[in-house]
Amino acid sequence: MGEAAGQFAVGAGLGKQVPGLLLEGSYGVGAGREAQRRLVLACELDQRAGELGGVTALQAVHALPAGDGLLCALGVVLDRGDGVLRRLRREQLASAGEMVDDAMRMREQHGITTFKVKVGRRPVQLDITACRALREALGDDTELYIDGNRGWTAAESARALHQLEDVGLLFAEEPCPADDIAGRRWLVQHSNIPIYADESVSRAADVTREILGGSATGVSIKTARTGFTHSQRIHHLCEGLGVEVVIGNQIDGQIGSVCNAAFGAAYEATSRRAGELSNFLDMRDDLLTEPLIIKDGTLPVRQGAGLGIDIDEDKLRHYRHDG
Ligand SMILES: [Mg+2]
C-alpha cells in the first residue's frame, strides 16, 4: 500500500452548506426528525437504498442554524420548519462561478487536480456552461468527470455529452436512470464518453446485469456502501470482465475515507486514477486522534495495524447519540 490520489467534487448541492450525510435513496419524503431517523436507519440497513432514485441530502434538523431553512442536494431540500422534503429548482443551486472558486481553492490548498462535476440540471446548458468554465479555469492538466445522479433523460445526456466532447471528460457517471433500460443502453452505444454506473450497481449481481446488459462501461466502488468484502467481490468481478472502476464516496467522514483509501491503494485497477477521498474536508470535526491530511493531491495510507487509525474516545463520547 502506498498513497491514494485524491479527488474533489464540485457542483450543485456540494457547496458549503452540504450536510454531512448523503444518501442515494428515494425515501425522499418525510416529516420531522423521527422520519429522518427512520430514513437513515432504513437506508443503512436496506440494500435497496442503493437502487432507488435521486440523491437525498439530509442533516439532523437540529443541526441547522436558525433561519437557514434549506439544505440542497441535486434538487432535494430539507426544510427546517416542518421537516418536509421539498424540491428546489436545480438552477437555484451552485453557479458555475462558485464551482470554479471551489475547485481552485481545493487545488491551491490540497493539490487536488481531479474534479467530479455534479450535473443533471435542466436545462442541460447550465451544466455544460459549468463544465466549460471549470476546464477554462483549471486548464488541460486537470482531470474532469461528471456525475448526473440520473438527473437527465438518455436524450438529454446524449445532447450534453455530445456538446461536452471537447471539454475532455474522463467519463460520465449515472447521467440518466439505469431503470430506463432501453434509453440507457442506447446512450452507452452512442456516447464517445464512457458511462459509469454508481447507485445502480450496489451489489456484484447488479454489476453483472448492468455491464453485460450494455448499460454501463465502468463501475464506481464504495467501501461505505459494500464494505471490504463485497467491494472486493465487485473489484474482482470488474477485473475479470475487463471493466474500469473508480473509488467513489458516500460523503465519507475520515474513518470512511481511510477505508476507501486503503481499499483503493490495494489494487492496481483502483489506484490507476484518482479516488473520491476528499469529502471529509467539508466536515468540521471527526473522530480520529490523528486527522487525515490531503497534501499534494494525495492521502497517505496509514501504516499501522488494521487501518492504522485510533478513535478519539472523548470525541466519540461527545458526538454519541443514542435513540
Ligand atoms: Mg455518483
* Residue 317 CA, ligand 1 centroid: distance in Å: 32
Higher-confidence residue of 194 and 68: namely: 194
259 pLDDT above the threshold of 70:
yes
Instruction: Give the residue numbers marked as catalytic.
Output: 118, 147, 173, 198, 222, 250
169 pLDDT above the threshold of 50:
yes
Class of domain 3-13+95-314: alpha beta
Residue-level pLDDT at 9: 52
Residue-level pLDDT at 82: 36
- 124 CB neighbour count, 10 Å cutoff: 24
170 pLDDT above the threshold of 90:
yes
Residue-level pLDDT at 8: 55
pLDDT in tens, 273-300: 999 999 888 888 889 999 999 999 999 9
Q: In the predicted model, what is the mean pLDDT of residues 261-269?
A: 95
What is the residue extent of each domain of the chain?
3-13+95-314, 21-90
* Residue 101 CA, ligand 1 centroid: distance in Å: 22
pLDDT in tens, 119-139: 888 889 989 999 999 999 999
Phi, psi dihedrals of residue 73, rounded to the nearest 5°: -155, 110
* Residue 305 CA, ligand 1 centroid: distance in Å: 31
* Residue 283 CA, ligand 1 centroid: distance in Å: 19
Cis peptide before 194 (omega within 30 of 0): no
Residue-level pLDDT at 149: 85
Q: How many residues does the chain have?
A: 323
Radius of gyration of the chain (CA): 19
* Residue 102 CA, ligand 1 centroid: distance in Å: 19
> pLDDT class for 236, splitting at 50, 70, 90?
very high
First to last CA, the chain: 38
Which cell numbers in the block locate residue 185? Answer: 443502453
pTM value is 0.77
